[in-house]
């Protein structure tokens, strides 16, 4: 599988823009785990506790959370799997134990938009 990333209608890439705005070591750690996703696959990362698939509501069932912890900071990258590709949707710094609804809503919105783009 390949890694692809959601792009806005203006051509921005929110996940990589987020990573570029971090310090080099934190950004490198996220990139390392994205590459491990590609290399080992989602099932292995789930087994290792580094990835989780959302359950419950229908609108989140196709969204996964890649969990990256570095220097006491918790980074999360939401992604989905479409047409044998991992599509990166959204990244953020997690500051609470529960996944913020705002961050999940962004990923859901981008997932729906991505589906529409790929249908056309």
- Give the whole-angstrom CA distance, residue 100 versus residue 95: 9
What are the residue ranges spanned by the domains of the chain?
A: 2-119
What is the pLDDT at residue 119? 86
Q: What is the structure's pLDDT at 19?
A: 97
pLDDT for 27: 96
Question: And the tokens for 77?
Answer: 């990258």
Rounded mean pLDDT for each run of 10 residues along the chain, 120 residues in total: 94 96 96 96 95 82 93 95 95 90 94 90
What CATH number matches the domain at 2-119, 3.30.360.10, 3.30.540.10, 1.10.357.10, 3.30.2310.20? 3.30.2310.20
What would the two tokens of residue 35 be? 């590459």
pTM of the predicted structure, to 2 decimals? 0.93
pLDDT at 45: 96
Tokens of 104: 């999940």
Which secondary-structure segment (H or E) carries 54?
Answer: none
């Amino acid at each position: 599988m390949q890694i692809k990333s959601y792009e806005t209608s203006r051509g921005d890439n929110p996940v990589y823009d987020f990573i570029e705005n971090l310090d080099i070591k934190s950004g490198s750690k996220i990139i390392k785990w994205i590459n491990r996703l590609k290399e080992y696959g989602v099932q292995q990362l789930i087994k290792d506790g580094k990835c989780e698939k959302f359950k419950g509501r229908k609108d989140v069932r196709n969204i996964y959370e890649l969990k990256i912890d570095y220097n006491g900071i918790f980074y999360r990258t939401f992604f989905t799997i479409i047409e044998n590709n991992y599509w990166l949707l959204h990244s953020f710094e997690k500051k609470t134990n529960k996944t913020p609804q705002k961050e999940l809503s962004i990923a859901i919105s981008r997932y729906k938009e991505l589906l529409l783009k790929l249908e056309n």
